[in-house]
Amino acid sequence: MSPRIENRLRDAFAVGAELVRAETLRPAEETVRAKVIAPRHKLVLAVPLAAALVVVVIGAVVVMVAGVRAPAGPAAKALLGPRFLLAADNDGMTVRDAQTGKITGRVGLPRAPEGSLREPGGYLLAGTGEGTTFYVAQSVTSRQTQVSTTWFHRVRVDERGRVAELARDVIPAVTGTTASSLAVTGDGTQLAYSLDGKVCGQDKTLRFCPGARLTVVDLPAGTRRTWTTNAAGQIRNLSWAADHRVLGFVVKSEARVLDTAAAGTTLAISRVVAPGQEATTSAISPDGRSMLIGRTHLSDGRQPHRYTIDEYSVTDGRKIRTLLSADRYGMTIAWWNLIRYDATGRHLLVVGNFYPLSRLDDGQVTPLLYHGPSDPHLSDSSPPAIEAAW
């Protein structure tokens, strides 16, 4: 039974349980006497529970067969997507309820050596999309040598959102430059990560030089394959299609897809999804047919900057629709940092440099972290950096 079906049965049971009121049950003392003294009453005592179970079965069938949204309320919200997500900021990692953002557990990793950390805390997160299994990469750069080391761990959570397993060093640590993105397939067999290009120059001339690379590790076999690029900058926002073969990412402000089974060792074999459209982030859909692209639309100074999440066809680059559009006043340009699909492709996690961690379900935005009131016309400060995955 899949976690999605388990969630629906759990929610249907909650709805059924609400129908069993206290006044419909026998007093506790009478129930005990009936059970001990008169076994023939067992059938009578089972009726309320049987009624509740009937409601559970009927409710589950209605939800699964009709495919309609349940009435508003806690049970209805729980039906939407994964139950938990993993989040990381400069204070560490937490497991959170994916409906409310409430912390359900904390993740304690081995103490990292002293060094420089890219916000938030040097962490990169990836999940299988079910909200139960996550991978963590943490990069620390030595201040003396400027060499970065990245460690990779796996976290699994239980049905209460508590850490059930923490597997350290699931692959050997990687040294060189800082890790810039992380993604894992839905079955947890293929782990992809990218490393920055080399850092060149110093002080005001400090920059990324060509040499960024992308690696896919087959976790069961321990084998790996690497692609390089001559583009300066980072390979960002890695995301897998459900076929465990097509990988989406952003490099040089281009949203691209890579067939990881095709021949070649450079990202020149990858393909631009929407030519001419600059991307700040992207996410390929689980079915591999479309890609979400986060974009920034700069104003002429009289209007606020606008940033959107648009859906494009992977096949022909055609724009399908705009999923989310937000305006930003102020001098600092807004952009999207993160877009994550869940395993079904119906629910999204989104983060912007002026947009708190939120989820997007059927066009409805639900903030999961709130950083206090701000006036969008006056405030020019960004919310704390955060990573998230489910």
SS3 content of the chain, % helix, strand, coil (to 5): 15, 40, 45
- How many other C-beta atoms lie within 10 A of the C-beta of residue 207? 13
DSSP symbols for 89-139: ETTEEEEEETTT--EEEEE-PPPPPSSB--TTTTEEEEE-SSSSEEEEEEE
pLDDT at res. 299: 80
Give the bridge partners for 257, in sequence order: 248, 271
pLDDT at res. 45: 32
pLDDT at res. 353: 85
**Token pair belonging to 234:** 């980072």
pLDDT at res. 71: 31
pLDDT at res. 370: 67
pLDDT at res. 112: 84
Q: Give φ, ψ of 389 to 5 degrees.
A: -155, 155
Give the chain's largest Cα–Cα span: 88
What is the DSSP-derived secondary structure letter of residue 267? G
Residues of the chain with pLDDT under 70: 1-79, 301, 370-381
Give the bridge partners for 310, in sequence order: 293, 322
Instruction: Find, among 312, 317, 384, the residue nearest to 353 by Cα.
Output: 384
Say if residue 304 is preceded by a cis peptide, omega within 30 of 0. no
pLDDT at res. 254: 96
Q: Give the tens place of pLDDT for each residue, 222-249.
A: 999 999 998 888 999 999 999 999 999 9
